[in-house]
Amino acid sequence: MSAHITTLGFDADDTLWHNENLFEEHHKKYCQLLAEYHDSDVVEERLYETEMRNLELFGYGIKGFTLSCIETAISLTNGQIKAEEIRRIIDYCRQMLEHPIELLEGVAETVEKLAKEYRVLLITKGDLRDQERKIAASGIAHCFDHAVILSDKNVESYSRALRKENIPIEQFAMIGNSLKSDVLPVLELGGHAFHVPYRLTWKHEHVEKSPSSHGRFFQLDTIRNLPALLDKITYRKVD
């Protein structure tokens, strides 16, 4: 089945560069810090509950995550956590914010190649300042026609963003690691989506099963395979 795809949207975190591995490392340190109070399973469960409760107000990103970590630590220790331990939590999160950007294998050459053939957008969600920092430090910012930073990724936010960019949904394809955020909303709108899984997936991004939109959903083992697949399914419109 051929498609007239003119515009590609790339997710950022865990699609173009590593991100969830930083949270994985933080969780290990956090559980170790609170080990004298509770085992790691209890700590992880309570932290996730706090994150979900705070998500509407704090949004996505490391800063909101830090506040949830501090709130959870106070709750789990019945207010007995020491100021020095809270400072360590803040330091862990500061280290995440300062961590260098590490592109995934094959990203630089793939995005460079596709930017010569398509209009290419970066569409991500999270804290505005942190996402802008990562984009600027990525070394591939020049490849994107525009960067769109959303507070969340859902049908409504994608629809608004595409209307603003004057992009017909049937000519749009989204590439990302999250079925929930990068694939399902775009398919529901009538666009195309390419799923490139990352080795880690945040619990909040899990979905029960893969979508089945025939001819519009594609699974990739690596982003390196994207150009060849696009060549196979995309026809070039001749004016």
Using an 8 Å Cβ cutoff, are 59 and 127 in contact?
yes
Residue position matching structure tokens 């000519």? 171
Buried/exposed code over 88-109 (b: 16+ C-beta within 10 A; e: otherwise)? ebeebbeebbebebeebeebee
Overall pTM surpassing 0.95 (yes/no) = no
Residues of the chain with CATH 1.10.150.240: 20-98
At the fourth CATH level, the homologous superfamily of domain 7-17+103-233 is HAD superfamily/HAD-like (3.40.50.1000)
Residues of the chain with CATH 3.40.50.1000: 7-17+103-233
Tens digits of pLDDT across the chain (239 residues) = 567 899 999 999 999 999 999 999 999 999 999 999 999 999 999 999 999 999 999 999 999 999 999 999 999 999 999 999 999 999 999 999 999 999 999 999 999 999 999 999 999 998 999 999 999 999 999 999 999 999 999 999 999 999 999 999 999 999 999 999 999 999 999 999 999 999 888 778 888 777 876 789 999 999 999 999 999 988 655 44
CATH of domain 20-98: 1.10.150.240
Rounded to an integer, what distance in angstroms lies between the CA atom of residue 61 and that of residue 107? 22
